[in-house]
Amino acid sequence: MTQADAAEVEVEPAIAGELFGDRIDLARQFTDSLAREGEERGLIGPLELPRLWTRHILNSVIAAPLFHGSVADIGSGAGLPGVVLAIARPDVQWTLIEPMERRVTWLNEQVAGLGLSNVEVLRARAEDVRRPEGFDVVTARAVSALRTLIPITAPLVRDGGELAFLKGLNVSNEIDAAQKAIKKHRLSNVRVEVLGEGVLAETTRVLRATVR
């Protein structure tokens, strides 16, 4: 990263320290790596550096309290939200599922470099993963619309487990368009929770649903 690039990287917001607590140094290390290598390795776009903390890191970590037990992050890509959440929640077991080899390489490098013993990286498509016991929660961020995301993720959740997707402003329309998939995969208590109001510059919307 050049000096000019460094000047473009968003300054760490003060709230980051509160959200990560004693794990903030690991969050800084990951964010620095993403800022330094992310664009070159095709993980983030060139316009993301000035909003890296606000749009990506804090957008992910604000959802950390929602998770427990074993969690799968589908299409983990750059590690958003999987690596960020694994930093914030060392008490949770994370499986980062990503089909692209170069992204899997990146994820493995980050997991090793950060010493995240609570993370497994799995190169696979979600629809090809077989875990008979199921995951307690399956999450995803910026992967696809709900009508295509639900059919490939709901089968990974244990009975009574949960889907928790980080979504954008259009999530209500996505829910409307996904009614067939919601019924087919027996999702209940489907709702959208808005996280970070009064705390973050940009709130996070999480689609949550129970799988039966």
Report pLDDT digits (tens) over 83-115: 999 999 999 999 999 999 999 999 999 999 999
Residue 180 has what pLDDT? 98
Average pLDDT over every residue of 2-19? 79
Residue 142 has what pLDDT? 85
27: pLDDT strictly greater than 90: yes
C-beta atoms surrounding 28 within 10 Å: 17
Rg (CA), the chain: 17
- Looking at the whole model, is its pTM more than 0.85? yes
Average pLDDT over every residue of 7-27? 94
Residue 141's nearest CA partner among 97, 102, 105, 107 is 97
User: pLDDT tens digits, residue range 153-197?
Assistant: 999 999 999 999 999 999 999 999 999 999 999 999 999 999 999
In this structure, which amino acid lies at residue 185?
H
